[in-house]
Amino acid sequence: MPSSKEQLEQRERQTLAPYAQFSADSRGRVHPEPPALWRTEYQRDRDRVIHSRAFRRLEYKTQVFLNGTGDHLRTRLTHTIEVAAIARSIASALNLNDDLAETIALAHDLGHSPFGHKGEEVLDQLMRGHGGFEHNRQSLRIVEELEEKYPGFRGLNLTWETREGLAKHQTPFDQMQNAECGMQNNSPFPIRHSPFSQPSLEAQVANLADELTYCSHDLDDGLEAGLLSEKKLTREVKLFSESARAVKKQHPALSDETRRHFTIRCLIDRQVRDVVETTEAAILASGVRTADDVRRQFRPLVEHSPRRRQWNQELREFLLRDLYSNPEVFEPNNQAGAMLGDLFRYYLKHPLEIGASSRKRARRSGWLRAICDYLSGMTDRYAILEHERLFGK
């Protein structure tokens, strides 16, 4: 017999830490719904995210390398799945609600534009003075407004805690800006005006899992593409050199490919272990006893140790210099971003071509926001094909 929702909630009470976010304590949904019989509230959120159109489109959106560049390179979807796996592992190790951490991780990039951060930068420039564009806020807009799957409401009607995690999702790589993105929020539990300075520990875990994942896996893709050098990494990046030396010492006879992948695996494992140990100590020192105690803290409790925080900054600077700014990455993404600008200006002159649902949305949000929503939802390949249709090759 499957476990009922009540049994699952009771199991959470028995197994999770007191400062975890219990699904039975959810602040609820904007639109009340009958409870699911066999799923907790956060399991239901997770399933809604996975079944959304925005989630499926991530398969054809750029992570670092333009989508279609290589079969083994990561897309925005594979990045998202990897973030969710690491978030679930960290949350489980800390006795937190791994369903909630996984759900926030799965939803965190739903609002990403085509062509990676270059596409985001272009849309933000085009929308300057009109609310801007920022993919974290667009993710929240998607689950609150843009998905159209249910008869009684717009969006996915996710719980307050999942939406809180999206509203407060931020990593060091994300653009530090405060665009409102034209989002509407009629929730009786408004996210952006929450009295809490921090989100749940589960949301903090998703934040850090995202940072940990993109650093390590962008590094892996850079090596796979031959744009990064293991020798240079060993000389200049302590996170890499620590793992590389340990792998070489323990497994001196590995093939080049196996050694490279196993080094990344060890790098991630050491990072996760450091986060768990550092966070356990921070939670104990804080004295928090409930999930809302966590929210009242002035700084996140889920964190790296000071040494590894410094090493992560070193890795981010290396990736920015040697990978993201490499002409083989930068130029194709730059050209793709220019396509996005062409499309925006075309639709501004021909707004009736953005599709029926987008035209309908323009009545609520205005043409500029409707066009931005339409473009940000495109996959890389659809945007390229649409540009070829309108402007030729």
Lowest mean pLDDT among 18-22, 72-76, 107-111, 376-380: 72-76
Contact 170, 207 (CB under 8 A): yes
CB count, 10 Å around CB of 339?
Answer: 21
pLDDT value, residue 249: 93
Token pair 């083989």: residue? 328
pLDDT value, residue 184: 40
Residue 164 structure tokens: 């809180």
pLDDT value, residue 181: 38
* Cα 31 to Cα 98: distance, rounded to the nearest angstrom: 24
Tell me: the pLDDT tens digits for 73-92?
A: 889 999 999 999 999 999 99
CA gyration radius for the chain?
Answer: 21
Q: What average pLDDT does range 259-281 have in this prediction?
A: 96
pLDDT value, residue 193: 53
CB count, 10 Å around CB of 239?
Answer: 21
Q: Spell out a b/e string for 175-190, using b for 16 or more CB atoms within 10 Å of the CB, else e.
A: eeeebebbbebebebe
What's at 40, amino acid-wise? Answer: T
pLDDT value, residue 24: 95
* Cα 65 to Cα 51: distance, rounded to the nearest angstrom: 26
Tell me: the pLDDT tens digits for 175-227?
A: 333 333 333 433 334 565 567 889 999 999 999 999 999 999 999 999 999 99
Q: What average pLDDT does range 128-139 have in this prediction?
A: 94
* Cα 231 to Cα 235: distance, rounded to the nearest angstrom: 6
Tell me: the pLDDT tens digits for 294-326?
A: 999 999 999 999 999 999 999 999 999 999 999
Element (H, E) at 361: helix 356-365
pLDDT value, residue 175: 39
Burial class (CB in 10 A: 0-12, 13-18, 19+), 255: exposed
Residue 167 has pLDDT above 50, yes or no: yes
Instruction: Collect all residues with Cβ–Cβ distance below 8 Å to 333 and sequence separation of at least 6.
Output: 62, 66, 115, 116, 118
Phi, psi of 37 (to 5 degrees): -75, -40
Contact 208, 275 (CB under 8 A): yes
pLDDT value, residue 62: 86
What's at 306, amino acid-wise? Answer: P
Q: Which domains does the chain have, with CATH numbers?
A: 45-200+329-391 (1.10.3210.10), 204-326 (no CATH)
Residue 46 structure tokens: 């997770």
Higher per-residue pLDDT: 188 or 12: 12
Q: What average pLDDT does range 252-281 have in this prediction?
A: 95
What's at 244, amino acid-wise? Answer: A
∠ CA 41-46-48, nearest 5°, is: 95
Element (H, E) at 383: helix 380-391
Contact 280, 243 (CB under 8 A): no
pTM value is: 0.92
Contact 109, 76 (CB under 8 A): yes
Residue 350 has pLDDT above 90, yes or no: yes
Closest by alpha carbon to 223, among 68, 72, 60, 332? 72
Q: What average pLDDT does range 347-359 have in this prediction?
A: 91
* Cα 291 to Cα 161: distance, rounded to the nearest angstrom: 11
What's at 92, amino acid-wise? Answer: S
Q: Provide the 8-state DSSP code for 61.
A: S
pLDDT value, residue 63: 86
Size of the chain in residues: 393
Residues of the chain with pLDDT > 70: what percent?
92
Residue 2 has pLDDT above 90, yes or no: no
